[in-house]
Chains A and B, each alone.
Chain A
C-alpha cells in the first residue's frame, strides 16, 4: 500500500531551515493586515477564517498541510499511518506521538493530557464549539502516556486526520482553559484573547476587531526562529485599502483575501513594491439547478420533494445547454483575475480527485447548445423568443448573494442564456440573509425558492469524503429538518448514495480518487454547473521571503520561516 507516500514525501524537507544564517528576531518587525479583523483568538469560539488564521500564529496542531496539500508533522514526531502502526489495521483508531522538547510559551511542557482536554473542551454540549465537526465520530481521546495520544473513532475511518490536524483544531493549554468548559467559555475573556500556545509567536496585546501585537515565543522549539521578532496584526477597512497599504504606501508587509477588481490589483502590483500570491484549495463558484419545483403556487411544498420535480431543470439536455452557453474564461477575466481559473468540476482538487471527464465545458459553445436543444425538440413554439419544454417556457429565477462580482457574473450569464432561448430573471440577496440559515426567512440558500442559485462552497482539509456525502438523497433541506441540509439542489440518485457508502468503506487512495471523480461527474451532469475554481489572493511586500501560501491550511502556516530579504 502506498496510500500516504504522498503525505510523507514532503515531511522531512518542510522543516529544513531555509536560511541557516538568520536567527530569531533578526528580521525585525512584521506588519500584517487582514481587512476583516479577528474578534477572538480562540478558534473554537468563532470558526471564522480571520480568527482561525490569526490564532494559527499562536496555536498549533499535530500536523499541517503545506501548499501542495501534503501533510507535514508539526507537533507530532511523524504522521501515523497503517504502515508505521500509527493507524490501527481496522482503521478505528490513530495514535499520535508528540515530538520531543515542545513547550508552551509559558515554559511548561506540552503533554498528551492537553489534547484530551482540547477534545473535551470542544465537544462539551453547552460550549457551542465552532470546530466540533473536526471531532465528528471521535468516541475517545486518551493519553496513553505523556507523549502519546490515541484517538478512537466510532467506525472505520479511512481518513483519520481531522482532529488536531490543520489550523482549525489546534491544541489549547489545559491549565489555562480548565475553568472555561461549556457555558463558562465566554467568561474566560483573558484566555480567549491571549491563549498560551506552542507556536512561533505569543500575544502581547489583543484588541478585538482591531489589532493584535505579538512577539516571538521565547520558548519556541526552534531556537533560530521565528525570524521576525515582533508582529502587528491589524484589521479593518476593506480589501482595496489593504492592498494599497502593501503595494502603494508600503506600510504593511502582507495583506490577506484581496477580493477586489483584478485590474486595480494588477495595476498596484505593477508598481513593483509587492507580489500577488495565489493559492488554490477546493473553493468553487458554482450554479445549482433546483431539481424540485419552486413554484410559489405550491405553498409550503415549494422546493421540496413533495412539491414534485422541477418542470424542466431535471432534464439533463437543458442543463447541458446552459453549461455550454457559459464562457467561464470571460467570467474569470472580469471578476477574478489571478484569483480564479475556469473549472468544470465541483471537486477541483487535490489532483487525485479532480476529474478530467468534463473539460469540454471550458470552451463556450453557443451554436452547440442551440443545436442540442433543437435536436431534443425543445424549441420556441409561440414565437416569443423563449423555448418551451412540454409547454412550459424556459424562464428561470436566478439568485445569489449581493456582491459586485456575482452581479457581473449574473448579467453575463443572463445574456448568454438569452442567446439560447432561456429567459432569466436576476435577484440578489444580502449575504447575511442568504447564508444566514434562518428557517423563517424565504431568502436563504437552503430554502432555494428559485430555479437557480449561485455561490461558492469548499471543504476544509484535503479529504473529500464528507464533502461528497453532502449530496445524499436524505440530506435535502426540507421543512422537517428546519431547512437544514447540504444537498442544496435536491439531487437524488440511489447510485450516488451507493458510491458514498462505498467510499466510506474504501481505504485505498487510488480507489477513493476514482470514486470521488465518479461522484463529481454525476453531480456536474447537470444539477451543478461549476464556474470558477477560486483561490485565495494575498499580497506580500517584495522584501518578504520564505512565504509558502497554502489554501489547505492557514495562509500563515509557515510564518516561522518568513524573513526580510537582506
Chain B
C-alpha cells in the first residue's frame, strides 16, 4: 500500500450526536471502549499500512528497536523513509489535536503512528485537503474517523488500479439491525430518510454514474444522455451507504486548489458529485465564455499525470479526453460496514459490539476483558463489555451494555442496552434502558431513564423519571 498516503478526517464535531459530543470530539467517543478513530486506524493497520517496511522507518514519535534497525539495509531504509514520510495524517480540530494524538498513542497501535494536524473547527473536508496538500505527495486515501468496517482495502485499491480511476469510493449496505428495538427503529427511520444518497452504478464496470444526496434532488432526476449512451444499464439505489472512504488521484488536489473550484468545500457533498458530473465531458466551453486565461480544465488535470503522459505518448490510438475523469465504486458484499455519525448509529454500534470482532477490533483481553469477572451478586451478560476497574453493587443486572473504566454502579441497578462512558456513577436502584451516559456524569439513586442521553458531567437528580430526553447541564448546545 506504499503507493497511497492516507488522510483520516477526524475534524467533525459530531453535531448529529449531541449531546454525547458536548465535551469530547466525535473521534474520541468510545466504541467498544476504544476511541472511535482507533477503529479506522486499526482497519488501515490490518490492511498493511505502515506494515513491515515501516518498522524500520524512523518515526519521530516512536523509538526504534536496535535489532530492527539492523535488519534493514541503509539504502532501503532511506528509500522507505522517504516513501513513508507522513504516511498517515489525521486531520483534527485544532482544539482537540493534542488530545487525539495522545489518545491514539495510548491505544498502542503496532504499526501506525499518524501525524495529527489541527485545523479550524467546522471547515469542510475538501478544505482540509487544501490545507494539508503540501504533505500529500502521491495518490491518497481519505477515510472518515467514523467508519467502522472490516472492508478489505486492498480490494478497493485493486479496483482503483484496474480501472485507473480518478476516484474510487466505498459503498455498502448498512448493517442490518439484528436486535431491533421498537424505539430504536423509530428513531432510526427518519434519520435515514434525509441522509440517503442516490447512487447510480453501472453493474458491470462498477462505474459511478450518478451521485447525489436525496435532499439535493428536487423533483427531477436528470440523467445525461451521454452517460446512458455509454452505460445503458444503470442501477440506481438508495439503500447503499457511502462509507466515506475514498481513493483519490493526486491531481484532485491541484484541481481543488484552483480559484474557481474554491467553492467546493466538502468531499462527499460537493467534490464527488462534481467529479461524477464531469465524467464524459470534454475540455472546452469555459474558455470561450471566460476571458482566455491559463486555466486548465478538469480533464487537463487528469491527463497531466506523468504516468499517463508517458503512456499516452507511447500509444498509437488518440487520447479520449472525454473519458479522463473516472469515478468508480467498490460495493462491499459481505462483511461489516457502518458509520458512526448519528446518535442512533452510535447506540446501534455499541449495542452490538460483537460485530466488531470481524475486523480484529475486539478489545484485547489483557487491557479490557470483554466479559467482566462475575462480581458478587451482579449479573453481567456476555453481550456486555465492562472494564476491570468497574465497581458493581449487589443484585445489579447488566445486559447489552458497555461500561467504561472507573465507573461505579450501585446495587439493584438495571442497565439494559446502555452505554456508560468513563467515570460514571450510577447510584442504587436505577433502571436505565437505552441510555447513553457521558463521562463524569452522576445518576443519583432511584432514577428511571429510557431512551435518554446524559451529558458530560451532568448530575441527574434522584428519582428522575425521564423518557426520550437529553439531560445536560449546560444551557443547551449551539
**Chains A and B are bound partners:** no
